[in-house]
Structure 1
């Protein structure tokens, strides 16, 4: 397992010139750019597992006979805000292998300045191996476990895969909501969803916002400078674009303030994005809530579609889910509720509710065992 370990150090604390390239409008670090690096790192880790630790160059895919792509990103959880005055280390390794798939665990740590290292992000990527000629699944090397710590990581990777399969079976696109979810939706409808003519009028101190009205779009041409080794658009670049649009949407909904990234709740890569294609990114705020820690939390979806310029037809290539919050004082944060109008929007609202409850559970466990 340890043979696949890779790391990348970004010396923000010692290189003001580098820091300038990553600084956001609030003086912090651009998380979207770091996501791009994490996707590249997960790919490097996967190739290192297949090629061995002694190989330092990928070479041509045709010569290798296989290629590796990102199938999904299960989660990326931001444990604490990034400190731009300290260096940042991105690292990871393969922790589980299936027949043609690999689970890659990644993390980001702040280092330097004579302070103790601090883990600021943990994440999981699912990578798949394909034959370079047939593009069908290709077997990956099994993991050799050397220590009890590695066995624990392997078990965690296996649990990740089983949990992802279980969540797919529970998807609201396949099965109806549970009785508890249906009751929660109905209660919410009775409180916020009736009397459409009152749209925009505060109800019990909460402003009602229709889910469909949160739509934000961006359309762009895909240039070859953003290609990967497979001559398609690099997945990490798409992650950065989606993050930026999702952040913009959440900022608009939460009316500015200090917007903080909490988690990437999932990415599904359905198909590659060709060079030269027209890509349309569409974002909606699916759910809004609050907690004892944060006065407003939102779950945002971003969908990437490739547009056929001759027919106008669109096909979905990627789906992204993010969670942001306002961590200002509660008195400065507006109280707004996302309200679905249609059954489809109601299912999206419930999916957002599930994601926020999962994130709240993870943060609670982290606090409990810190």
Structure 2
């Protein structure tokens, strides 16, 4: 396991030029760019696991006989403010292997003169290996565990995979909501879903929170498979979601978590990509910290027919900086109601995970 470790150092404290490249309009860091690096790092770690720690270049995919893609991002949770005045280290390691899949744990740390000062972010990427010729699943190298700590990390990765499978079986696209969820949804309908004199400052219909961006995919953003780099898509989705959360709350927002990403299909070079964002859930009035859960869907548009295919589905959570209650986003249709409940589930899980990690940080 330890042979798969890799890291990237971003010396913000000592390099004004680097800081200038990553700074945002509020003097902080462009989180979407850091996500782009984390996706690239997870891919590099996965290839390192397959090729061995001494191999320095990937070469041609067809010669290697396999390729690796990001299947999903389990979570990325912020545990401390992302400050640009300190050097930051991004690191990761393969913690679990299945038949053709790998779980890569990633970490973002702030460094000081005496070493690590804060763990800023923790998360996991799920990577899969494919045969370069048939594009079918290809077995990955098993992990050799050399210590009690590595065995514990392997167990974390194994449990994460099982939890992801369990959540997929409980998805609202497969099974109906629980009785408790149905009651909560009905309560929101009674309070906010009827014409009872509520103002736009108290609620907003989910269908009216749409924000979208359409753009061409250029070869400068390609990966080794000659498709659009997944990390670049993560950055685009993050920035659109941030804009939507800011407009909805009418304030600057702070990123708290990437709750999930699914990669359904690759995005071809030269295609037209439509990113559509929507506010899916907000915390109840008076509940602090207030949170806004946003979904971003990426679709490739076929020019000749106008037909669209979904390639990626992103879910993010932000907190408004003024720590005030936010308007309630209210679903109108059954489909929107299911998205609203999925957002509620995501917020609940995020609170649980951040609480557990802050009590006892893990790798």
Answer yes or no: same fold by TM over 0.5.
yes
Note if 1:143 corresponds to 2:134.
Answer: no
Note if 1:169 corresponds to 2:163.
Answer: no
What's the TM-score, normalizing by structure 2? 0.96
| Contact 2:259–2:317 (CA under 8 A) maintained in structure 1 | yes
| Contact 2:283–2:291 (CA under 8 A) maintained in structure 1 | yes
Q: 2:350 aligns with which of 359, 362, 367?
A: 359
| Contact 1:295–1:327 (CA under 8 A) maintained in structure 2 | no
Cα distance in structure 2, aligned partners of 1:351 and 1:167: 11
Note if 1:321 corresponds to 2:319.
Answer: no
| Contact 1:68–1:130 (CA under 8 A) maintained in structure 2 | yes
Q: 2:337 aligns with which of 304, 325, 346?
A: 346
Cα distance in structure 2, aligned partners of 1:115 and 1:61: 38
In the TM superposition, what are the counterparts of 1:133-282 in structure 2 within 5 Å? Answer: 133-195=133-195, 198=197, 201=199, 207-257=202-252, 259-282=253-276
| Contact 2:109–2:116 (CA under 8 A) maintained in structure 1 | no
What's the TM-score, normalizing by structure 1? 0.95
Cα distance in structure 2, aligned partners of 1:107 and 1:289: 28
Deviation at 1:363, TM superposition (A): 2.5
Pair 366,238 (structure 1): closer, same or farther in 2 beyond 3 Å = same
Shifted more, 177-186 versus 288-297: the winner is 288-297
Pair 261,294 (structure 1): closer, same or farther in 2 beyond 3 Å = farther
Cα distance in structure 1, aligned partners of 2:40 and 2:357: 27
Partner residue, 1:77: 77
| Contact 1:97–1:140 (CA under 8 A) maintained in structure 2 | yes
Superposed CA deviations along residues 318-369 of structure 1, whole A, max 9, x for unmatched, are: 00000000132x4xx3541000000000000000000011111123323444
Give runs of ≥4 in structure 1 deviating > 2 Å: 112-117, 290-296, 363-370
Pair 323,132 (structure 1): closer, same or farther in 2 beyond 3 Å = same
Deviation at 1:233, TM superposition (A): 0.1
Cα distance in structure 1, aligned partners of 2:116 and 2:276: 41
Q: Find the residue that maps to 1:121 and give its secondary structure.
A: strand
Cα distance in structure 2, aligned partners of 1:341 and 1:307: 27
| Contact 1:95–1:105 (CA under 8 A) maintained in structure 2 | yes
Structure 1: stretches of 5+ with no match in the other structure: none
Deviation at 1:313, TM superposition (A): 0.4
Cα distance in structure 2, aligned partners of 1:287 and 1:9: 36
Superposed CA RMSD: 1.5
Cα distance in structure 2, aligned partners of 1:137 and 1:6: 25
| Contact 1:294–1:327 (CA under 8 A) maintained in structure 2 | no
Superposed CA deviations along residues 31-89 of structure 1, whole A, max 9, x for unmatched, are: 00000000000000000000000101001101100000000000000101112111000
| Contact 1:288–1:299 (CA under 8 A) maintained in structure 2 | yes
Cα distance in structure 2, aligned partners of 1:98 and 1:351: 27
Q: Find the residue that maps to 1:341 and give its secondary structure.
A: coil
Partner residue, 1:127: 127
Cα distance in structure 2, aligned partners of 1:193 and 1:290: 14
Cα distance in structure 1, aligned partners of 2:332 and 2:97: 43
Deviation at 1:195, TM superposition (A): 1.8
Cα distance in structure 2, aligned partners of 1:218 and 1:246: 11
Q: Find the residue that maps to 1:296 and give its secondary structure.
A: coil
Number of residue-to-residue matches in the alignment: 361
Cα distance in structure 2, aligned partners of 1:307 and 1:271: 13
Q: Find the residue that maps to 1:166 and give its secondary structure.
A: helix
| Contact 2:202–2:328 (CA under 8 A) maintained in structure 1 | yes
| Contact 2:286–2:325 (CA under 8 A) maintained in structure 1 | no
